[in-house]
Amino acid sequence: MFTGLVQDLGSVAEIETGDEGVRLIVRTALADEISLGDSVAVNGVCLTATSIADGAFSADVMNESLRRTSLGAVGQGSTVNLELPLRAADRLGGHFVQGHVDGVATVRDAVDDGFARVVTFDAPPELLRYIVEKGSIAVDGVSLTVSAVDESSFAVSLIPETLERTTLGSAVSGRPVNLEVDVLAKYVEKLVR
């Protein structure tokens, strides 16, 4: 369980690609806090640390995760959002994020609005039905509040702190991002059915 509050911008140091999946080696200031087997959210995808050495951790990304997330588009040298799991004593500053990505959206555009930046994402209809204005959403693992939604897209307004501390500060048109909708919406839909 995560909160969607990014703790570090990691750097993909190496990618080992094979038929069975990908191994990511990510350099991060958080490496000393990670143990073998720990969960780490990488751009919102919950991965398991398989090794830790020299200020970096490794994680295996299976083909299923590559198909359902934007991690397949990550390259060597890419910057990624990182978050360690929530501890029972931690403050819950974002919202409950599981690290179970529901799908991928694409940045439509990003426009300045005073000191903020409004980023609009094109999203598939099967995910848009769970997205509501002023509701919570995780975009590349970042807990955000939806500022607008229509039949094909949604928007978020990003403050300077978010722009500086996450990969969303460099969001450009066409870039794929991971989406995790609020899990409560999915449970309510199932119960109502």
The backbone torsions φ and ψ at residue 184, rounded to the nearest 5 degrees and listed phi first, read: -60, -35
Q: Which of 90-94, 109-113, 164-168 has the lowest mean pLDDT?
A: 90-94
CA distances from 118 to 5, 50, 148 (A): 19, 37, 10
Calculate mean pLDDT across residues 17-33. 96
The reported pLDDT for the residue numbered 99 is: 95
* Backbone torsion region of residue 44, taken as left when φ is above 0, otherwise alpha when ψ lies between -120 and 50, otherwise beta: left
Nearest to 46 by CA among 8, 7, 82, 10: 82
Q: What is the mean pLDDT of the chain?
A: 95
Q: What pLDDT is attached to residue 185?
A: 85
pLDDT in tens, 95-128: 889 999 999 999 999 999 999 999 999 999 999 9
Query: Average of pLDDT values for 76-99?
Result: 91
- In the predicted structure, residue 91 carries a pLDDT above the cut 90: no
Nearest-CA neighbor of 133 among 156, 152, 115?
Answer: 156
pLDDT of 73: 93
Label residue 90 by pLDDT band (50, 70, 90). confident
Length of the chain as a residue count:
193
Confidence of residue 89 (pLDDT cuts 50, 70, 90): confident
* Strand-pair partners of 22: 17, 61
CA–CA distance, 97 with 17 (Å, rounded to integer)? 28
Tell me 88's DSSP state: T
> Angle CA(126)–CA(103)–CA(69) in degrees, nearest 5?
165
Contact 179, 127 (CB under 8 A): yes
Q: What is the secondary structure of 101-168 as a DSSP string?
A: --EEEEEEEEEEETTEEEEEEE--HHHHTT--TT-EEEETTEEEEEEEE-SSEEEEEE-HHHHHHSGG
Query: Three-state SS for 49?
Result: strand
pLDDT value at 88 more than 90: no
Region label for 139, one of left (φ > 0), alpha (ψ between -120 and 50) or beta (otherwise): beta
The one-character DSSP state at 66 is: H
Q: Is the pLDDT of residue 158 over 90?
A: yes
The pTM for the full model equals 0.95
